[in-house]
Amino acid sequence: MSKTNLDLVNDCDSFPYYQVDPDLYAASISTYYELRVQGHDYGLGYVLPSVAEVFRGVPNFSLDDDDRILTLTAGENVEERSQLIEHTLLALKQIGHFKVLEKWRNELYAVYGRNKELLFNVERSASPLLGVVTYGVHLTAYTKTEDGELKIWIPRRARTKQTYGGLLDNAVAGGIASGETPFESLVRECGEEASLPEDLVRSTVKPAGTVTYFYIRDERAGGESKLLQPECQYVYDIELPEDVIPKPGDDEVEEFYLWTIEEVKEAMAKGEFKPNCALVMLEFFVRHGIITCDKEKDYIEIVSRLHRRLEFPTL
């Protein structure tokens, strides 16, 4: 069955909203454990009960079953907290407890507090276990023909890729490592994933805001399903000259297609895009007047859902 634009939003921004269904929201919240660090009395993420149970009795962690809180109880600074978390996760990886940890990448993601202060760093593959907010960059690359038609460069993810293999993607996309700025992350990814010249990227790319959503992972993400993944993606546009052709720079992309707007829409309706990439594409269509209130009956909801206010501290 063909997916509507709102279906595509629901596929990615899948965590319930209190305003829409208070009972479902309350039922969901009551099943999770809230992740905290000692000295900070607020949540940093939601943890599945099955994950929280693994931390019961683990040194430097405490589990409060009455209030359903999982707390890192030691560590006076970023380095100490990060080290304690890494040692615990490496031990869990060694005994093969969580499938997501098999995809250990040696990349660190930053977790921030209410005052935008860095609280700790966590291994990228482990971030969904803790349900913390993660950050990435997504670039839409397009070109205009001589008659003014807009066409979009769409890559197909390698079928061998650990996550969402074979699905369609945005021209460039990747996670922001701790200590890295969004723009520098984008420049790096542009070279790695699309072989775009650095000077062209730096001089031509246009920042276009953010897309935020709260995703509940499914089997396509790899590892355990139902892990909670609130995310913020910094989005960028680049208009490429017709003679600049993106090419895979690593083994993460199979090939690039140059598609018309209608071809992109058709692939989205067939569910061929990675869920968050479909969201970024919708946001591009809104900004460029391709999706308008005259043509889309769910326009207001779609636009608002592309910019969800997350339940946890963000930058």
Please enumerate, as own/partner, the contacts of 206-209 that have beta carbons within 8 Å and a separation of 24 or more. Answer: 206/236, 206/237, 206/238, 207/183, 207/234, 207/235, 207/236, 208/235, 208/236, 208/237, 208/283, 208/284, 208/287, 209/234, 209/235, 209/283, 209/307
Side chain identity at 19, as an amino acid letter?
Answer: Q
What integer pLDDT is reported at residue 1 of this predicted model?
A: 84
- Work out the average pLDDT over 157-168: 89
User: What is the C-alpha to C-alpha distance for residues 62 and 59, in angstroms, rounded to an integer?
Assistant: 8
pTM summary value: 0.96
Which residues on neighbouring strands pair with residue 216, listed in sequence order? 228
Q: Is the pLDDT of residue 252 over 90?
A: no
Q: Is the pLDDT of residue 163 over 90?
A: no
List pLDDT tens digits, range 121-139. Answer: 999 999 999 999 999 999 9
What integer pLDDT is reported at residue 62 of this predicted model?
A: 97
List pLDDT tens digits, range 65-114. Answer: 999 999 999 999 999 999 999 999 999 999 998 999 999 999 999 999 99
What integer pLDDT is reported at residue 176 of this predicted model?
A: 98
What integer pLDDT is reported at residue 267 of this predicted model?
A: 98
What integer pLDDT is reported at residue 161 of this predicted model?
A: 81
Q: pLDDT grade, residue 222 (50/70/90)?
A: confident
List pLDDT tens digits, range 9-37. Answer: 999 999 999 999 999 999 999 999 999 99
What integer pLDDT is reported at residue 250 of this predicted model?
A: 81
Neighbours of 82 (CB within 10 A): 21
What integer pLDDT is reported at residue 46 of this predicted model?
A: 98
Average of per-residue pLDDT values in the chain: 96
What integer pLDDT is reported at residue 39 of this predicted model?
A: 96
Counting residues of the chain whose pLDDT is more than 70, the rounded percentage is: 100
* Domains along the chain with CATH numbers: 5-14+133-305 (3.90.79.10), 32-130 (3.30.750.160)
Structure tokens at 79: 């380095």
- Torsion angle defined by CA atoms of residues 207, 114, 110 and 69, in that order, rounded to the nearest 10 degrees: -140
Which residues on neighbouring strands pair with residue 156, listed in sequence order? 168, 255
